[in-house]
Structure 1
Amino acid sequence: MAVKVLVVDDSSFFRNRIQEALSSDSRIEIVGVAVDGREAVTKAVALKPDLITMDVEMPQLNGIEAVRQIMRQAPTNVLMLSSLTHEGARVTLEALEAGAADYLTKDIRAWMDRSSALTKEFIERVVALGKSRQHRPVTAFSRQPAPASSSTARVFRSEPVVAKPRSEREFRRETPQAASSTQSSSTSRSNDDRSGAATQPLSRIKVPDVRIVVIGASTGGPAALQKVLMALPASYPLPILLVQHMPGTFTKVFAERLNQQSMIRVREAVDGDRLEPGLALLCPGGMQMMLDPRQTDRVKILAGDDRMTYKPSVDVTYASVAKTYGSKVMAVMLTGMGADGCDGARLLKQAGGTLWAQSKDTCTIYGMPQAVVNAGLADAVLDLDDIGNMLAKCRYA
């Protein structure tokens, strides 16, 4: 079934370019076009699309208010299109809080040049979000409420393995698929949850004593991270590293918003930052975050290898933390497209660390959690509403 899309933009140039891009893929059907937020709400109710592409800044009714009304009247996955500016980041994050599923940066030069990379990314994002809408109804922000069985979690056993990377370069040598621009590892695994999973009460899941928590996320991650971090107390005894796929102009604003919303402290990481209890460091967009091998209580922020698909990459941070802290790592894989983090998770499990994955029913996109689950690397799969509460039980080893 083709993904039904409603295109919303007050610019005739962007409306035409968006329609041109989407019309090139047979998996997509454009069912309507709107030129402002008010018309977007009306057509969302009437057309019931699987996905809406929404400009942030529009007349009559801006993108944020349009998202709020759509979530009340006709809950739908919304992909925001936002400028690469500080203000664009702020407004986009407000739209995500209002219920939008994801965003794509609106670089006019790339759109004017008809960038094939941009078109491909745009189409894949639209198809993934639209298909997730077809398979699971959207019910406003939080779009994926915890099911009635949220007091249970699926528990897995994974095989121990070997080797720890010493650097991003060594990590790339040991796991060359991490550099693949298509993340082919995600397509080689089953589309279903790992079979034979035992379901147990949350009270029976082992919460390890650890030295550090590291969380990876992509599509749907901003809302998921907010929910997780808000469940942690101000006296949280562990340092936290956050890796969210996000451009550099967005991460500082995102960290500031998380800091305002959470009881723990959150800030965008800078090179040399020290790990501290109750402090979450967010990797800057366009960079990589590792632990300093000479001072293991400090982070290193690096430009990283240009061949790496993701900047930041969950794989890189997981691998670095695994090398330094081994079995004293608590890792979490949240919602996101692709398979970033799976190779790093394998190295983390080799070192004896613990990994929890977000459940399919509560993910915006199940790709990243699905990759670690299908690879047998997840110790447990938890609903989003439970992850923060379970992390709050972790103690310093």
Structure 2
Amino acid sequence: MTKHKVLVVDDSVFMRKIISDLIKEDERFEVIDTAKNGLEAVDKTKRLKPDVVTLDIEMPEMNGLDALRLIMADTPVPVVMLSSLTEEGAKETIAALEMGAVDFVRKPSGSISLDLFKVKALLLDKLSIAVQTRVSKISAPPVVPRPIIQPPKPLFVDNKPKELSEKTYGGRIERLVAIGTSTGGPRALQQVVSALPEHFPAPVLIVQHMPPNFTKSLAMRLDSTSQIKVTEACDGDRLQNGVAYIAPGGWHMILKKDDMGYKIRLTKDEPRSGHRPSVDMLFDSLLPYRELKRHVVLMTGMGSDGAKGMQALRQAGALSTIAESNETCVVYGMPRAAVELGCVTHQLPLYQIAAKLTELVTQDYHSKT
């Protein structure tokens, strides 16, 4: 059996040994070398051509983010980041994922902690996924014009929360978009959500497989680059048009309805298909609400979470079901599962999804405004 070649990058001698020893215990991998900073990482990636790189973020001379940027621009290779549990660590990890890193593994505590053994299974799992992914040189996607949508004239005084007031508007919830994604998702979401136009006439519910804390940083990052409002969902949030809600790590997000309208419920129910949050949990919760014009999207990710939920929604009258096409997926798993179930109405490359969503969601909107 041919082993996958791994380059381990960390400024700590002790951590380089710990990580290398963990990887060597799996017969699928071999550590071909180590590097102590970003400069060495860039040089050795170019010379040794590893199948996958584990990359620390905080390092002297050149940090992990700068090294990742150079690697992805010159000699792209699957990269798994090693992330701290701090808020700043989460922000840097989100930045790394947007720059092309495949995934990340959290350091349980400090950079020389023996607790890293606790994440051995996770590290090996991420490496096995990484070597199956498609990476390419980072380049700008094709430019797709963003349509301008005028908000409807208010029929009543909208007492929306002040923190959401700048990017949102009131009005009846008649349409809804639900998106599910996993490996490669942060970069995909950046491209799709940031391209949605201001006054997008629907709420957007998003499940991204990601641990606690990181979903908050993801929401903050997307909000800073988007015309619509993006927030990490809270239990009891009332849906508003022009707001994207990201399921918090460790919680399922489902849709509920009461006399006041639609709201978000967060639950600690058992993981589904190994995930919490689960895309299928979100999609299944949308089934009763046939009065909503529902649009469902599955993007890059390992496994099949969301495929059965998409099929059920299609059978329950969802207006559109969109799967990211193989050509742009980092991992063509979740979308492929939906395609194989025959429930996909549109297969699109990533750079066309936002425009298609806008077209579909707004096709009956202008006739009412």
Structure 1 length-normalised TM: 0.77
Matched, 1:235 2:233: no
Secondary structure of 2:121's match?
Answer: helix
Match for 1:139: what amino acid? K
Unpaired stretches in structure 2, ≥5 consecutive residues: 145-173
Q: CA deviation at 1:121?
A: 2.7
Alignment of 1:327-338 (within 5 A): 328-338=293-303
Match for 1:56: what amino acid? I
Tell whether the 8 Å contact from 2:322 to 2:348 is kept in structure 1 after alignment: yes
- Picking from 244, 253, 265, the partner of 2:217 is 253
Secondary structure of 2:26's match?
Answer: coil
Q: CA deviation at 1:54?
A: 0.4
RMSD: 2.4
* Aligned equivalents of 2:351, 2:114: Cα separation in 1: 38
Match for 2:43: what amino acid? T
Q: CA deviation at 1:326?
A: 6.9
Match of 2:138 in 1: 140
* Aligned equivalents of 2:115, 2:125: Cα separation in 1: 19
Secondary structure of 1:348's match?
Answer: helix
Tell whether the 8 Å contact from 2:179 to 2:297 is kept in structure 1 after alignment: yes
Match of 1:125 in 2: 126
- Picking from 322, 346, 367, the partner of 1:380 is 346
Tell whether the 8 Å contact from 1:273 to 1:298 is kept in structure 2 after alignment: yes
Tell whether the 8 Å contact from 2:271 to 2:278 is kept in structure 1 after alignment: no
Please say which of residues 66-75 and 242-251 is displaced more in the overlay: 66-75
* Aligned equivalents of 2:273, 2:332: Cα separation in 1: 22
Match of 2:147 in 1: none
Secondary structure of 2:300's match?
Answer: coil
Match of 1:170 in 2: none
Cα deviations by residue, 1:364-388 (Å, 9 ceiling, x for unpaired): 1111112111222222211001101
Match for 1:280: what amino acid? A
- Picking from 224, 242, 255, the partner of 2:188 is 224
* Aligned equivalents of 1:377, 1:327: Cα separation in 2: 19
Secondary structure of 2:39's match?
Answer: helix
Q: CA deviation at 1:9?
A: 1.1
Cα deviations by residue, 1:275-316 (Å, 9 ceiling, x for unpaired): 111110111111111112435511112222257621111010
Higher relative contact order by CA 8 Å / sep ≥ 6: 1 or 2? 1
Cα deviations by residue, 1:102-127 (Å, 9 ceiling, x for unpaired): 22212149963733xx3333222212
Tell whether the 8 Å contact from 2:280 to 2:306 is kept in structure 1 after alignment: yes
Match of 2:269 in 1: 304
Q: CA deviation at 1:101?
A: 2.2
Alignment of 1:269-308 (within 5 A): 269-294=233-258, 296-305=261-270
Secondary structure of 1:349's match?
Answer: helix
Match of 1:392 in 2: 358
Which of the two has greater helix per residue? 1
Matched, 1:368 2:369: no
Distance 1:83 1:256, change over 3 A: same
* Aligned equivalents of 2:192, 2:48: Cα separation in 1: 34
Match of 2:71 in 1: 70
* Aligned equivalents of 1:360, 1:121: Cα separation in 2: 26
Matched, 1:318 2:300: no
Q: CA deviation at 1:129?
A: 1.5
Alignment of 1:142-221 (within 5 A): 211-221=175-185
Cα deviations by residue, 1:111-147 (Å, 9 ceiling, x for unpaired): 63733xx3333222212221324xxx521266xx68x
Match of 1:359 in 2: 325
Match for 1:106: what amino acid? K
Match of 2:148 in 1: none
Structure 2 length-normalised TM: 0.83
* Aligned equivalents of 1:286, 1:326: Cα separation in 2: 30
Tell whether the 8 Å contact from 1:327 to 1:351 is kept in structure 2 after alignment: no
* Aligned equivalents of 2:20, 2:42: Cα separation in 1: 19
Distance 1:217 1:307, change over 3 A: closer
* Aligned equivalents of 1:250, 1:111: Cα separation in 2: 23
Tell whether the 8 Å contact from 1:326 to 1:352 is kept in structure 2 after alignment: no
* Aligned equivalents of 2:218, 2:133: Cα separation in 1: 25
Identity of aligned residues (%): 42
Match of 1:164 in 2: none
Q: How many residue pairs end up in the alignment?
A: 329
Q: CA deviation at 1:244?
A: 0.6
Match for 1:335: what amino acid? T
Tell whether the 8 Å contact from 1:98 to 1:141 is kept in structure 2 after alignment: no
Q: CA deviation at 1:14?
A: 2.6
Q: CA deviation at 1:215?
A: 0.3
